Amino acid sequence: MAEKTIFKKIIDREIPAKIVYEDDLCLAFEDVNPQAPTHVLVIPKREIASVDDVTEEDEEVVGHLFAVIKKIAAELGLAGGYRVVTNCGRDAGQEVMHLHFHLLAGRKLAWPPG
């Protein structure tokens, strides 16, 4: 069996994380190397490697992730706005092969991204 990703280990409570939200379908926790004052990662509990691996069966859970992102943004009071990013594949710099959305806020975010 393939080795667990670091995010699967967080889901399974094998390594610690600062969890900000959890339900049956997903988990959200603080990024260990924050790129903005708020940097939360929102992940499905189901093991989906990247956007490239999303199937029709995943549509409900992926839609749910966005509802959760909105809820977290409201709870954290991100009234000034926020950015949601997912890196897919090598050129985008994806490091962890478990689908995740970065929720970034708390400073002016440059556009276009690097």
| Interaction pattern, residues 59-88, with ligand AMP; x per rule: CB under 6 A | ----------------------------x-
Nearest approach in angstroms of CB 108 to ligand AMP is: 19
Is 98 noted as a catalytic residue in this protein?
no
Largest CA-CA distance found in the chain, in angstroms, rounded: 44
* 6 contributes a contact to ligand AMP by CB under 6 A: yes
- The contacts of residue 49 (CB under 8 Å, 6+ apart) are 97, 98, 99
Q: Which is nearer to ligand AMP, 41 or 42 (CB)?
A: 41
Q: Give the 3-state secondary structure of 70-97.
A: HHHHHHCCCCCCCEEECCCCCCCCCCCC
Q: Which is nearer to ligand AMP, 41 or 78 (CB)?
A: 41
Among 3, 56, 60, 95, interactor with ligand AMP by CB under 6 A: 95
Question: What does the alpha-carbon distance between residue 25 and residue 34 come to, in Å, rounded to a whole number?
Answer: 24
Nearest approach in angstroms of CB 59 to ligand AMP is: 21
> Of all helices (H) and strands (E), which one includes residue 35?
none
Question: What distance lies between CA 32 and its chain's CA centroid?
Answer: 12
Residues that bind ligand AMP (CB under 6 A): 6, 15, 17, 31-33, 41, 87, 93-96
Mind telling me the catalytic residues? 100
